[in-house]
Amino acid sequence: MGLVKGRIIYSTAIEIFHFIDEPFFVYYFFNAFLLILQVLSLLWSWSIGKIIYNTLFAGGV
């Protein structure tokens, strides 16, 4: 899932300049939200991994 989001961010941040010359406000707004979503996804995955590790190896949550 992270690879898909990474590819979307790459497409909207880099490849878009092949199609348009000057980005407008919504472009920056959209990319900012995509980056925030990526960070939240990473934090969520880390949190789930920590809970699984504690449950399996430490014996509790």
13-47: pLDDT as tens digits = 888 777 888 878 888 898 899 889 888 988 999 99
Residue 59 clears pLDDT 80, i.e. is over it? no
pLDDT at 57: 87
pLDDT in tens, 11-20: 888 887 778 8
3-class SS letters over the chain: CHHHHHHHHHHHHCHHHHCCCCCCHHHHHHHHHHHHHHHHHHHHHHHHHHHHHHHHHHCCC
Residue 50 has pLDDT above 90, yes or no: yes
Task: Delimit the domains of the chain by residue range.
Answer: 2-58
Q: Report the pLDDT value the prediction gives residue 60, as an integer from 0 to 100.
A: 63
The residue ranking higher by pLDDT, 9 or 53, is 53
